[in-house]
Amino acid sequence: MSTCSVSKGCFVFKPKSKKRKISSVADYFCEGNNDSEDSELRFNTSQSLWKRITSETEQLQEDLNKKLFDNLIRFLRKSHSDFKEKKTEWSCRMKANEIPAAALILGVNVTDHDLTFKSLSEVLQEDVTPFVVSLRSKECPGIKHLLQKLMAQLMGCHVDADSPEEEEYSKASTNRMCCSVSSLTDWYRNITKKKDASTLCKTQEILSKHWEPPPVVVIFKDMESFTTKVLQDFIIIISRCIHEFPLVFIFGIATSPMIIHKLLPHSVSSLLCIELFQSLSCKDHLSTVIDKLLLTSQFPFKLSEKVLQVLINIFLYHDFSVQNFIKGFQLSLLEHFYSQPLSVLCCDLQESRKRVKFLSHCQCENIRRLPSFRSFVENQESNTQRVLLTDDASLKEEAQALLQNLHTYHENYFPILRCLHAFTSSLPNYPLGKQIRELHCACLERKVWETEDYESAFQLVRMLAKDELIAILKKCVEIITSSSTKCLGSCIEKLEEYLDQFKNLEATDDQGETASSLKEIQKKTDLYRLQKTLLEMKESRRLKKLTKFEMLRFEVVDFIDSLVRSYLAPPETQTLYEVMYFSMAGTLREHLNAAPRVAIHTALNSPYFYLKNEALESDTGCISNTAPDICIAYKLHLECGRLINLVDWLEAFSTVVTAANQNFSEKDEMEEIIHARFIRAVSELEFLGFIKPTKQKTDHVARLTWGSC
């Protein structure tokens, strides 16, 4: 290549792009997996299933935010109408420098705030105004940078913060504008002015579907992190020109609305007209997500009790982030389809029955190796066992029936679970948990009716009042009716029959006998007769017969107990449950709940675990001379006490290293190289936090860890 140029220069010639042969995504999906059969189909199934789940979560997020966004738009509309009144009748204005501000309390789940603000910006830009600005504290260390970001997002042009303030708006054609409030007001006045010029046709078309005039909404995503001086200066500056264009602040707050008064003095906060808005609690949001994703038969993929508990514990004890919970759910889904060959059957019932017909002999053997299928075969007759273990066609027919049973199990499980939660969620001390996810975990773990909490809960249920019992029964009828399951049709009829009996039941008046006894007590009598009468009343209460209501109440409770025993068995009792349930809680915990200290210790103590070099494979406790220098130094430092003598440490290090390296031509050269390698290894250990210099002895370092990890 050559170039002809009068002047000297540097020319860069990019190489021609060579198309590399890229493997399919399914190949990456099955990479490292011994059983890669149907990998592409498994990957496609997981992707289509996740698309459905994503669509459901997005719709759920939109529904949950709808009420909050409607209230915010109502607040904006009110502020906008006040501005128009001040524009038309300025003589009877309220406060010319008062800025409407919405304090949006979002909670401590900071990682979810971005999604909320993104949805809020989209809603405002679609229905209210095209002028929506989102600011972060890290982008606005000073007032100059804040104005620069504000004007850049509003105008969509490069803003020079150091340009002279006298620059007119007409010079903005060169995509440069001064960073000042005066230029901002000039820009807003020109952009909203109705002109017939062709250059503003597109702008007027955009503004025509929004409010007139459109307000400017400034969102402070993390108000707590903004510098106090920056907020104060910006509010004071904007308050002086608020009469020229409608401006609204939205403060994103994670802690408490009192932070506004902590950051801003009264002289500044008095310039704001603040109204509070509370978003949905993150715990309520999680309950709704679990209800829509896990407690439904709509999606075939399920989580075991231990996996679900890992995700819930990370949520409750780490970040309160619903989005991280959903990402953990996605990771579980991918891990299940990656590690389980039979996950190809984890799809809708009709599709799974079709796929069973085309299973290979290897996949049939995978079915026979499932623990649940082994238990199923052991309970069959000998002839049936022989056929299922040898004939693939018979196995496929039986697998179709078992998948149908598993689908029916899920259709019946979730309605009965909700009914049981309706009975136990309002009991004192919540024996089976207040949230339905707690009850779900209890049912997944074991047979819930065999627990002490279940017994104590049903003892309290047997004491429910008539009004409470009728309300719960009506709720159960609604739950089962909305589930549209055919198997529970008889349950609906039975519950409606109980409701009719309660309605027709005449309240028995048990107070007559008590009243007559009280009359006898009130008669003139001595202490002996009074004591005798009270003992007789107590005995009669103990031996009295149950009323009709109490008998009917016991009958209802026994019926609910029979439903629980019939339909709330743990999934391990269902054959082929491994196809749909992900139970590798340890794998999920390793990915999501990292333990860096353990990982570093494993890497330094057993480098073969990560490097997979056979030369590093040695007996436990031995120090291999082929290991990296930092691993050798680390193992040697484990044999020392609190203070480590650097000279002794160097001699031990040199002894281990020279056992493999005998090719040095000169002894001095060997010592210099080993000394340099030792210094680097010690520096790396100090950087990782295992040792530190000490002033007690100049030739020693202090050990910061103790034990083997």
- Domains, the chain, ranges and CATH? 62-280 (3.40.50.300), 285-508+547-581 (no CATH), 596-703 (1.10.10)
Alpha helices, DSSP H, located in 544-666: 548-567, 585-592, 596-605, 608-611, 629-638, 646-658
Which pLDDT band, with edges at 50, 70 and 90, does 488 fall under? confident
The pLDDT value given to residue 189: 84
User: Which residue type is seen at 104?
Assistant: L
3-state secondary structure of 703: strand
- Residue 195 pLDDT > 50, yes or no? no
- Residue 366 pLDDT > 70, yes or no? yes
The pLDDT value given to residue 173: 38
Distance CA 42, CA 334 (A): 10
Q: pLDDT digits over 615-660, tens only?
A: 787 655 677 788 899 999 999 998 888 899 999 999 999 988 887 5
Q: Residues 276-304: what's their mean pLDDT?
A: 93
Q: How far is CA 378 from CA 41, 296, 381, 387, in A?
A: 32, 31, 8, 13
- Residue 473 pLDDT > 90, yes or no? yes
- Residue 360 pLDDT > 80, yes or no? yes
Phi first, then psi: give them for residue 632, nearest 5 degrees: -65, -45
Distance CA 29, CA 517 (A): 81
The pLDDT value given to residue 34: 53
The DSSP bridge partners found for residue 645 are 700
The pLDDT value given to residue 22: 44
Distance CA 136, CA 220 (A): 6
Q: Residues 516-533: what's their mean pLDDT?
A: 59
Distance CA 60, CA 482 (A): 19
The pLDDT value given to residue 375: 94
3-state secondary structure of 249: strand
Distance CA 498, CA 477 (A): 11
Q: Residues 297-303: what's their mean pLDDT?
A: 95
The DSSP bridge partners found for residue 277 are 104
Q: How far is CA 224 from CA 98, 109, 488, in A?
A: 22, 14, 53
| DSSP string covering 185-242 | HHHHHHHSS----GGGHHHHHHHTTS-SSPPEEEEETTGGGS-HHHHHHHHHHHHTST
Distance CA 351, CA 508 (A): 57
pTM of the model: 0.79
Pairing of strands 99-105, 247-253: parallel
Distance CA 105, CA 109 (A): 11
User: Which residue type is seen at 293?
Assistant: L
Structure tokens at 625: 């001379």
Residue with tokens 């860069």: 12
Q: Is the Cβ–Cβ distance between 442 and 432 less than 8 Å? A: yes
- Residue 317 pLDDT > 50, yes or no? yes
| DSSP structural state of residue 160 | B
Q: pLDDT digits over 133-169, tens only?
A: 999 999 999 998 898 899 888 876 434 444 444 344 4
Structure tokens at 373: 């299928």
Distance CA 415, CA 568 (A): 10
Distance CA 664, CA 660 (A): 11
Distance CA 197, CA 209 (A): 19
Cβ contacts of residue 254 below 8 Å, gap of 6+?
Answer: 106, 107, 108, 110, 113, 222, 224
